[in-house]
Amino acid sequence: MKHKVKKGRKFNRDLGQRRALLKGLAISLIEHGVIETTLYKAKDTRQVIDKLMKFARRGNLNDRRILISRLGSPVYATKLIEEIAPKFKKRVSGFTSVQRTSTRVGDNAQMAFIKWVTPLKAEAEAEPKPKVAKKIKTVKKSIKK
């Protein structure tokens, strides 16, 4: 057992620099939809995005203000609430996926893409329509007999 060892990754930065790094990666993901970074930065960015999406899915005034304070700009908070969050209304977590790519040439670091998970059609639609279609088919069958 290692005593007095803090959890999490440090990225050879102090606390303020680490928070700024993850905030910048989260803003880039909101703005561009997909970014390429090192594997461990992508994994830590995924945790930050999940926490931000918790506020964006609710989207009330208080949560909007929290997002603006965490992201530093109302533009990104609005984009997250109005464009990205409605796609994931039924999803509880797992909004992003991390996909490994090649290693970086300079220092042989493992690189990865982090991107939004494409929502399923069932998540995007408010009400599924196949139930209505089944009722119509049974009515047609009963008319033919």
Q: Which of 103, 80, 72 is nearest to 29 (CA)?
A: 80
* 91 in Cβ contact with 50 (< 8 Å): no
Edge to edge, what strands does the sheet with 110-116 contain? 34-38, 110-116, 96-103
List, in order of start, the domains of the chain with CATH numbers: 15-119 (3.90.1030.10)
Q: Contact, 38 vs 114, CB < 8 A?
A: no
Query: pTM, whole model, 2 decimals?
Result: 0.78
- Tens of pLDDT, residues 35-69: 999 999 999 999 999 999 999 999 999 999 999 99
Residue 116 has pLDDT above 60, yes or no: yes
